[in-house]
Structure 1
Amino acid sequence: MNDLWLGAGIGEADYVFVLPNKPVLPRFFDTSFLNRPNVSLLIELNGNHWRKIFTIMAKLTAPRYDSWKSFRDKELLTKVGIAFSLDQLHDYEGLVFVVGNTFRDELPVDSSAHKVGNVHTSFVYPPYVWCPYLDYRQFPNTLIEALREYILEKKC
């Protein structure tokens, strides 16, 4: 499980999120589940914590902000990949969200990164976005909206 990857693969993901924590997976599953995981089942198995994670991912990456919920439930993991270590990204060329502080020693925020947000912040230096853990206490809607606007405006 050290190389666990969920959702859209390296060649098809519009975005990749690198997370420090792995979800509980169904007791019995085949490898196709990892490529096209069922968001509802993962939320059921992992609870509200993972619902928040998927919701923030969807709010950041949905083609239209007002459709994030439908996008989360039906399309998120066909457009977004989830990795659990930085070494999984060697062939990926899109935008990478480095989530939380776990990976900051291995991949520090670049000194030229653009700061997004005031109280709660993210840093953008394409292809990387260093952002808080995907929880509303650390990553409120104001930061989600500001980061989304910056990414779409700059077309990172």
Structure 2
Amino acid sequence: MTSIDCLGAAKPQLVLYLPHRPNALAELIKSPGSRELMDANSNHWRKIVTLLAKVASPNADDWRRFRDEDLFAHTALCFAPALTAGDSWHWIGGQQNLKRFNHLSHNAQPLPDCACVHVDAEKRLLLTPYPDYRQLSNAVVNHIRTFLGERSFYGN
């Protein structure tokens, strides 16, 4: 049996690393879609996919359409504890998840006015609480979006 380590774009702008895989991953690999992922899994996965869309959407007000139509054309979910190659931004969600990345060296510092998010711009690394609404509020998402926007993530 082959382990599936990533779901989504071959060259994603943003990769979200998580410690567990969703249900129906083998089917999702064939045709990745956020609707299919949410339908095959719990509300927990809907929250994860929604937060990924809120951060990655080029237009903050259009995150629902982006989630439902374009998310996996621009992002990826990865489950292995190693950063993917390429020019992606790497988002590791959760302190326990970060511990899996044994050999990852970084110089992540807290975002101004948002101490729960740490960034290493040189390594294109975001370290956040686990992607759940209780830990990543809309205010925190806005801080992340501002930081990424200042680095031309959204093509500005």
Normalising by the residue count of structure 2, what TM-score does the alignment of the two structures yield?
Answer: 0.83
> 1:23 is matched by which residue type in structure 2?
P
| Paired position in structure 2 for 1:110 | 106
Q: Give how far 1:98 is off.
A: 1.0
Q: Residue 44 of structure 1: which of 27, 34, 39 is its match? A: 39
| Paired position in structure 1 for 2:13 | 14
Q: Give how far 1:68 is off.
A: 0.3
Normalising by the residue count of structure 1, what TM-score does the alignment of the two structures yield?
Answer: 0.83
5 Å matches for 1:3-152? 3-9=4-10, 12-25=11-24, 29=27, 33-34=28-29, 36-87=31-82, 89=84, 91-101=85-95, 102-104=97-99, 106=102, 110-111=106-107, 113-116=108-111, 118=113, 121-126=116-121, 127-152=124-149
Instruction: Give, in whole Å, the separation in 2 of the partners of 1:75 and 1:13.
Output: 12
SS at match of 2:98: coil
> 2:90 is matched by which residue type in structure 1?
V
> 1:148 is matched by which residue type in structure 2?
R
Aligned positions, number: 148
Instruction: Give, in whole Å, the separation in 2 of the partners of 1:152 and 1:139.
Output: 18
> 1:7 is matched by which residue type in structure 2?
G
Quick check: 2:114–2:143 contact (8 Å CA) kept in 1?
no
Quick check: 1:8–1:35 contact (8 Å CA) kept in 2?
no
Q: Give how far 1:108 is off.
A: 5.9
Quick check: 1:60–1:144 contact (8 Å CA) kept in 2?
yes
Q: Give how far 1:61 is off.
A: 0.5
